Amino acid sequence: MVERLVTMQATASPVTQQWHRPKGLLLDAMGTLITLVDSVGHGYAAVAAEHGLEVEPAAIDAAFPEVYRRAPALAFGPLDHDGLEAAERRWWGERIGETFAAIGAPPPDLSLQHALFDHFAQSDCWRLYNEVEEQLQQWRQVGLKLAVVSNFDRRLHGLLEGLGVLPLFDAVVVSSEAGAAKPDPKPFALALEALQLNSTEVWHVGDSPEDLAGARAAGLHCVLLERQG
């Protein structure tokens, strides 16, 4: 079932350790379960236009990945509800400002930063990959416990709810709430605790080097997804 969707890379030598059918799966979000309907650049350009600022989608799409790659972890210390939202908005506001600077656009004001944050909180900006909902249903039917472990913020809870799959998960762990981001093993440990399973009973499915490294650090078998296009 897993092999139908992914290319597998073990986190330990098959000679020294035998992997058995898991009791639970931890799943990455962006690039594994969900993706944007339109590119980041198209979203930025549409919202910026509403604020009287013209930017080229292709330029944003070229600049954003490097800005995101260099960014500090999307993770914060213990904060109350309002404090955490403010920290998330501030983190993304800095990334937005850096992206606009990289393409030579005027600095986005606070209202544009917040508008962009709110834009990407809308579930209609996102979609599930075609096979995801059916696969999640099948995994639940055979008794697997499921959790999301993602370098994301609290908006992910609402996105999964809007896309109709939140009830299929026993837990959703996002880095901003966890206080650590993959490849740190802490988000994985929190998910294992929520599922009440240990690392030998759970596999992680993701699509990035951070997924593989984080799973290894947490002692998990990792299944690395390789999507085409």
Domain range summary for the chain, segments of one domain joined by +: 7-33+129-224, 40-123
- Interhelix angle for 57-70 vs 40-50, to 10°? 110
- pLDDT tens per residue, range 41-65: 999 999 999 999 999 999 999 999 9
Integer Cα distance of 210 and 39 in angstroms = 22
Nearest to 49 by CA among 133, 105, 101: 105
- pLDDT tens per residue, range 17-46: 445 789 999 999 999 999 999 999 999 999
Structure tokens at 63: 């600049």
- pLDDT tens per residue, range 171-229: 999 999 999 999 999 999 999 999 999 999 999 999 999 999 999 999 999 999 998 75
Residue by residue, DSSP assigns 95-110 as HHHHHHHHTTPPPP-H
Under CATH, domain 40-123 is a member of which superfamily?
Haloacid dehalogenase-like hydrolase (1.10.150.720)
pLDDT value of position 9: 35
- Is the predicted pLDDT of residue 1 greater than 90, yes or no? no
* CATH match of 7-33+129-224 with 3.40.190.10: no
| Alpha-carbon torsion angle 197, 130, 162, 85, nearest 10 | 70
Integer Cα distance of 145 and 107 in angstroms = 45
Q: Residue 181 CB: number of other CB atoms within 10 A?
A: 20
Q: Check if 7-33+129-224 and 40-123 are the same fold.
A: no
Distances (CA, A) of 90 to 78, 87, 136, 145, 155: 16, 5, 33, 34, 14
- Is the predicted pLDDT of residue 14 greater than 80, yes or no? no
Integer Cα distance of 34 and 128 in angstroms = 4
